[in-house]
Amino acid sequence: MKFDNSVLNVKLAAARPNPWTNRLHLDLPLLGGLIALMGLAFVILYSASGQDLDVLLRQGGRLLLALAIMLALAQVHPDHIKAASPLLFGLGVLLLGAVLVIGDIGKGAQRWLDLGVFRFQPSELMKLATPMMLAWYLSEAGLPPRWPTVLIAGLLIVVPAALIAKQPDLGTAMLVAVAGSVALFLGGIGWAYLLALAVVLGATLPIGWFMLHDYQRDRVLTFLNPEADPLGRGYHIIQSKIAIGSGGIYGKGWLHGTQGQLEFLPERSTDFIFAILAEEFGLVGCVALLAVYLFILGRCLQIVTQAQDTFCRLLSGALTVTFFVYVFVNIGMVIGILPVVGVPLPLVSYGGTSMVTLMAAFGILMSIQTHRRLFPV
């Protein structure tokens, strides 16, 4: 065996100058980016909530919980995360099945599993478990993937996505599918396979369509064509565009956005919070927010390229790209270039579930970054 690690050793030592962040397995640049983003989030949320301090306090509580989870996950060695991946994935699929069964009994849309003490959304777990499973499977199966591997990987993506789509929660199903597919893509899947998978996926869509209930089909149709629903989503988009456009370059000023403050804009503290930012802080504010996101993404990509084994590379890569997809899908929907999906603006929208999942993902990235071996073997 031949090693050429002299450059690496020096570099690693230089990258970890601070002993306490070392011991806590924190990645300072990433943490800094996240804190900056959350500071911005609180400023916007205060305005979007109609200056409601209660809302800020509750969001602050969730943030602390999410940070604690991130910190806890950062302590777990990537090897252990890898070992836990298939278990977590299996558990998640079982829970999704359980939710569907309970949901069928209740006949309505059901996403929550009531565990007595707290309610838990298995589809949220799958946002992490699916890319973890794919990274585990592909790193075990050998790369680049060939036919049987690609088929099994495809199943590992389609099964959870289909179960979530049946809830019906198409937004989350799409994100889970994206997270898994990115892992497969980064794993070096050949372009021919990619094309074949796309064809197969296209062919299975109609079958899934026939498996849906009537009312679920109605929801899918509204999702694809919001203009058919002028009382609901079409109205959101019209009002949202007015809010953003009227913000101009510099915005109307904090707490001075008429669209938001006069409550023309529905869901303004959750899915449509970006419109509040755009109205009150204008193009400058929007670009600033995008810059913070890009900073976080940049640091994540650095972690991805420095990751030392296949599992870590695929997982960190998938989580990073998925994070961007969240940002893109939410903003794209608010500014009217994508259909309205129930995807919140990551770490800015009010609400706890997605925040916990996202911070858990950053915890995994920090673990990958801070558990690197000096001499990878």
Partner 1 sequence: MRGGRRSTAISDGLRTRHTPFDSRMFLSRIALCVIGMLLATGLLVARLVYLQIVGQEHYATLSRDNRIRISPLPPNRGVIFDRNGEVLADNIPTYSLEVVPVRAGDLKRVVADLTELLGLTEDELQRFNSTLRRSKPYDRIPLRLQLSEEEIARFAVRMPRFPGVEVRAHRVRTYPYGNLTSHVVGYVGRISQAEMDLLDRSAYSGTLHIGKSGIEKSYETLLHGSAGYEEIETDVTGRPLRSLGSVAPLSGNDLTLSLDIKLQKVAYDALGEHSGAVVALEPATGRILAMASKPSFDPTPFVNGISRKAYELLQQDPERPLYDRALRGLYPPGSTVKPFVAMAGLEAAKLNPAKRVSCPGWYSLPGSSHRYRDSFRRGHGAVDLRYAVTSSCDVYFYKLAVYIGIDKLHDYMERFGFGQKTGIDLDGEMRGLFPSREWKRRVRKSDWSLGETVISGIGQGYVQATPLQLARAAAIMANRGQVVTPRLVDTARAGGKTRDPHADDPRPPAIEADPKHWKLIVDAMVDVVHSGRGTASRIGGGLPFRIAAKTGTAQVFSVGQRQNYRTMKVKKKLRDHALFIAFAPAQEPKIAVAVVAENSGFGGKVAAPIARALITHYLQVPP
Interacting residues with partner 1 between 321 and 360 (CB under 8 A): 321, 324, 328, 331-332, 335-337
Give the shortest CB-57-to-partner 1 separation in angstroms. 21
Q: 17 or 19, CB closer to partner 1?
A: 17
By CB under 8 A, residue 64 contacts partner 1: no
Residues 1-60 that bind partner 1 (CB under 8 A): 1-5, 7-8, 11
The token duo for 125 is 């777990």
CB 334 within 8 A of CB 288: no
- Positions in 245-284 near partner 1 (CB under 8 A): 245-249, 258-259, 262-264, 266, 278, 282-283
Cβ closest to partner 1, residue 64 vs residue 198: 198
Residues 145-204 close enough to bind partner 1 by CB under 8 A: 182, 185-186, 188
Q: DSSP per residue over 86-141, as a string? A: HHHHHHHHHHHHHHHHHHHHH-S----EE-SSSEE-HHHHHHHHHHHHHHHHHHHH
Cβ-contact 48, 269 below 8 angstroms: yes
Q: Which of 60, 229, 270, 342 touches partner 1 (CB under 8 A)?
A: 229
- Compute the distance between CA of residue 221 and CA of residue 170 in angstroms, rounded to an integer: 11
Residues 294, 295, 296, 298, CA torsion sign: positive
Task: Give the integer Cα–Cα distance in Å for 272 and 233.
Answer: 11
Closest approach of partner 1 to the CB of residue 82, in Å: 12
Q: Which of residues 88-107 bind partner 1 (CB under 8 A)?
A: 107
Stretch binding partner 1 (CB under 8 A), from 21-29, 73-81, 243-251, 345-353: 243-251
| Residue 290 touching partner 1 (CB under 8 A) | yes
**Residue listed under structure tokens 């990509």:** 301
Residue 144 as a binder of partner 1 (CB under 8 A): the answer is yes
Bridge partners (DSSP) of residue 120 are 113
In the set 143, 196, 201, 220, which binds partner 1 (CB under 8 A)?
A: 143
Q: Which is nearer to partner 1, 88 or 331 (CB)?
A: 331
179 is written with which tokens? 């997270």
**How many other C-beta atoms can be found within 10 angstroms of the C-beta atom of residue 216?**
17
